[in-house]
Amino acid sequence: MATALLTGLVLGSIYILVGSGINLVRIATGAFNFAQAAVVMVGAFIAYEFGVERGHSTLIVILVAAAVGAVIGVVTEFVAIRPVAGKGLHGELVTTVGASTILTGLVVVIWGTEVRPVAPFVSDDVVSIAGGRVTVDGLVIIGVAIATCLGLWAWSRLTMTGLAALALSEDRDAATLRGVNVRYLSILAMAAAGAIGGAAGPIIGTQTLAVSTVAAVVILKSFLVLIVGGMGSFPGLLVGGLAIGSIEAGTVRYLGSEYSTFMLFALLLVVLMVRPQGIFGQTHERTV
């Protein structure tokens, strides 16, 4: 029981780490960035290249991964988000999937399709907590995910830039009129999301290793967490992520893996039936 819960929390934390970057971009640009999980994957490969192959320290690996992630974020913003965001055509469904495809393709060309090792972050030893077993790195992931999510929440509520971004997500035109610099915010958000995604790569990589197929697996679950928690909400992301990870792991453990997709689908329907905007989501219904 405890092990399944811990497994679920680690899984959920992976979704949260990927989801926080998506949420950030979503708040600042209104677009859904399908390429975010691919940035995390690139981060994992950087952990392999710099940490395992070249033997650099964890700090350097994280910095390089964050820097590369930020660059990818900014480039994605210019190429795939800005030209299509806010037009109501969901062009990002095509362009950010394209960006994700490019990143995966680049990874395959550079590192191949094989699984590559990622060095332990703190330790890959297994420890017992409250009768459950989990790796030390698993605990690190849970901690980092919670801290990232809470940090971004505080940022969006307490800082001027964060509030400006929130205002932007509520009403783009009004925020623009009040002097919010949309372009600057959009670039900033994509750079930050890229850096977070890149830096998350070496940490998530301790669980997933560096492999080119991981982005596709993780992005959908992260998307699910965002929908269930409420798009654009960091508390929703945190609660949704931990809940969905636990439910997924619990289902696999006690019912069998063949039920997990059906269970998550049922969960999605139930949550959306009760709260169509997600648990912590806000409605923006047009007033008449």
- Alpha-carbon torsion angle 154, 160, 163, 167, nearest 10: -170
CB-nearer residue toward another protein: 161 or 282? 282
| Token code pair at residue 187 | 């670039």
Nearer to another protein by C-beta: 93 or 154? 93
Nearer to another protein, 164 or 182 (CB): 182
CB of 132 to another protein, least distance (A): 10
Q: What are phi and psi of 152, to 5 degrees?
A: -70, -35
Taking the complex as a whole, the smallest distance from the CB of residue 154 to another protein amounts, in Å, to 25
Least separation in angstroms between residue 272's CB and another protein is 4
- Least distance from another protein to the Cβ atom of residue 211, Å: 6
The residue (of 14 and 196) whose beta carbon lies closer to another protein is 14
Radius of gyration for the chain, computed over Cα atoms and rounded to the nearest angstrom: 19
Determine how many CB atoms are found less than 10 A away from the CB of residue 60: 13
Instruction: State the nearest-atom distance from the C-beta of 275 to another protein, in Å.
Output: 10
Q: Which is nearer to another protein, 131 or 143 (CB)?
A: 131
Q: Which is nearer to another protein, 19 or 164 (CB)?
A: 19
- Burial code of 98-133, b = ≥16 C-beta within 10 A, e = fewer? bbbebbbeebeeebeeeebebbebeeeeeeeeeeee
- What are the residues facing 134 on neighbouring strands? 127
Positive or negative, the Cα torsion across 271, 91, 13, 20? negative
Give least dist CB 230 to another protein, A.
Answer: 10
